[in-house]
Amino acid sequence: MTVVATDAENQLEEFKTKRWLGLRHIQFFLQFLACMIAYGVRTNMSVGIIAMMSDEPPNSDIPTYPQWTEKETILSAFFWGYVIPQIGAGALVKKFGPKWFLAGTMFINSLFTLLIPVMASGVGEGGVIACRVIQGLNQGFLFPSVHTLLGKWTPLAERSKVASFVYTGGPLGTVIALPITGVIAESSVGWPTAFYVYGGLGIAWTVLWVLVGADSPAKHGRISEEERRYIEGTTSTEEKEELPTPWKSILTSTPFLAILIAHCGQNWGFWTLLTEIPSYMSGIMKYKISDNSLLSALPYFVLWILSFIFSPIADYLIAHYLSIGAVRKIFNTIGIVIPAIALVALGFVDSAQRDLALDLLVVAVGFNAAVFSGFNVNHIDLSPNHAGILMGITNSLSNVFSIIAPLIIKVIPYEQTDPILWRYVFCIAAAIYVVSSVFYDIFASGEVQPWNTEGETDELEKEPQEKSFSPFKWFGLRHIQFFMHFLACMIAYGIRTNMSVGIIAMMSKDPPNPDVPVSTHNR
C-alpha cells in the first residue's frame, strides 16, 4: 500500500509541474463565453429600445415604433420570467446535472432573440415583451448551472480567480453588446441585425458546448486520472450518493441569508445602471445612439478589467493572510460602498458636466467588480455540494429587485429629461447598496456549513494539498469547463442586454434603411 501511495503521489507531483492546456481550461472558457453571450442577450435591449422607438431611423425600410409606450415594461420584462425558475432550477440542475440545462438555456434564449424583430413587426410591444419574458424564464437556469459546474470543477485554491473569470463574461458581454447594438442600429442594416447576430452566436455556442462540456470531472471521458484526483481532492465533490437538499438548514442559515441580502442590493443597483444608463446618456447627456452605446459600455469594460485585478488579490490574501470570510467581506464592501458613493455624486451632475458624469459611472460600475470575490462566490464557500441551489434561491429572490428597479422610473413624477428624476433613481440605488453591504459584513461567513455534506474531509486536512499544487503552472480539463461557462455567461448576457439599445432603434421614427418596414402597431 505504501508503494502504491508513493507512486500515486509521484504521479500527482509530476502532474503539478506540467505546463499544458487541458480540457478543464476549455470548460472554464466556454462557461465564460456563455456568460458573455447571455449578458449580451440580456442587455442589448437597453440600447436597442432607443433605436426601436426612434422617430429618425437611419434607413426608411427599417421598422421603428415611436408610438410605443411600454419602454420600461420591455426593459423589465426579462426579469418577470427570470425570477420564476431559479429555486427549482437549482434543484433540477443538482438532480440531473448542469450540462444539458446550460445547453437548453443558451439554445432557447438564442431562438427567441432571433424572433424579437419578427414579433415586434408582427405583434407589436406585446410580442417583444413575451419574447423577453421567455428569455428571462429560460436564463433562470444559467447561474444555477454555472455555479454547480464551478462547485464541481474548481479547486479551493483557484476559486476566486476562476469564478471571477467565468462571471466576468457577463460584464464583457455588456461591454460588447452595448456598442455593437448601437453601431448596428445606426447602420443601414438597422437594429434587427443586432438580435440576429446574438441569436446566431448563442446557437453556435450551444453546439460547441454539447460536444465538449461535462457535468463534472468524473463524467468527462478525456480527463486524466491525475487531474481528476486533484480537482476532487480539493473540492470534495467527487461522485457519490446524491445528498438530500437540507432546505430548512439553508433557509435558517444566517450566513446564507447574508448572501441573499447582498444579492438583492447588488441586483437593484447593478440593473438600475445596466438598463438605464443608455436612457440617462440620451435624455440628460444628449448623446446620439452610437456614441451613447459606446460610452455606456465603457464602465463595464473597466469592471471587466478590475475583476482580474481584484480576484488574484483575494486569492492571495486567503492563501497567506486572512480567512475566507474576512476576504469576502472586504471585497464585498469595496464592490458596493464605493459605487454607492459615486451614485450619490452622479445624482447632482448636469449635462454641462459630461466628463464628470462618465467618470462617476466608471467608478460606480467598475468597482462593482469586487463583488465577484465577495458575496458572488460565497455560495460555494458555504456549500460546494449545494452551490447551485443556493445560487438559485438568491438569484430568484434578488431578481424581484431587478424587476422593480427599471420600473421605479415610472413611479417618480418627473420626465426622463429632468435631472431630478435621476437624482432620485441614483440615491435610492445607493441607499439599498449600503444597507445590503452592512448586513453582509455583519453576518456573512467563509466557512463550509455543517449541512453541506456528510463525511466531508476536514478543510485543514486538504490545505497542504491545495497549497502544494501551483495553479499558475499548468492548465487542465476543468479550465475548459470554466471557459465554456464564461462563453455561456457572455452570450446569455449579450442576449439579455442588447434590447437596451435595440428598443431605442425599434421605436425610432427614422430607420437607417428604407427597406425595413415601420410598424403600424400603436399600443
Place of cell 414579433: 119
Residues with Cβ within 8 Å of 395's Cβ and at least 6 positions away in sequence, in order, are 86, 140, 143, 144, 263
Give pLDDT, residue 466.
Answer: 41
Q: Which residues in the chain come in under a pLDDT of 50?
A: 1-8, 10-12, 14-15, 17-20, 236-238, 454-473, 520, 522-523
Measured distance CA(449)–CA(22) in Å, rounded: 32
Give pLDDT, residue 507.
Answer: 61
Determine the angle formed by the axes of helices 142-153 and 225-235, rounding to 10 degrees: 110
Burial zone of 19 (CB within 10 Å; 0-12 exposed, 13-18 middle, 19+ buried): exposed
Measured distance CA(507)–CA(51) in Å, rounded: 6
Measured distance CA(45)–CA(507) in Å, rounded: 12
Measured distance CA(38)–CA(174) in Å, rounded: 9
C-alpha to C-alpha distances, 99 to 92, 93, 221, 321, nearest whole angstrom: 12, 8, 14, 36
Give pLDDT, residue 470.
Answer: 43
Give pLDDT, residue 36.
Answer: 92
Domains of the chain: 16-237+245-506 (1.20.1250.20)
* Nearest Cα residue to 327 out of 449, 477, 447, 466: 447
Measured distance CA(399)–CA(264) in Å, rounded: 7
Give pLDDT, residue 197.
Answer: 92
Cell numbers for 157? 485554491
At 467-477, the pLDDT tens digits run: 434 444 455 66
User: At residue 286, what is the residue type?
Assistant: K
Give pLDDT, residue 3.
Answer: 42
User: At residue 299, what is the residue type?
Assistant: P
* Nearest Cα residue to 46 out of 402, 471, 350: 402
Give pLDDT, residue 31.
Answer: 92
Residues with Cβ within 8 Å of 313's Cβ and at least 6 positions away in sequence, in order, are 373
Give pLDDT, residue 463.
Answer: 42
39 and 301 in contact (C-beta within 8 Å)? no
Residues with Cβ within 8 Å of 235's Cβ and at least 6 positions away in sequence, in order, are 151, 152, 153, 154, 155, 156, 384
Give pLDDT, residue 195.
Answer: 92
Q: In the beta sheet, which residues pair with residue 486? A: 32
Q: DSSP strand E in 86-240: where?
A: none
| Helix, coil or strand: residue 44 | strand
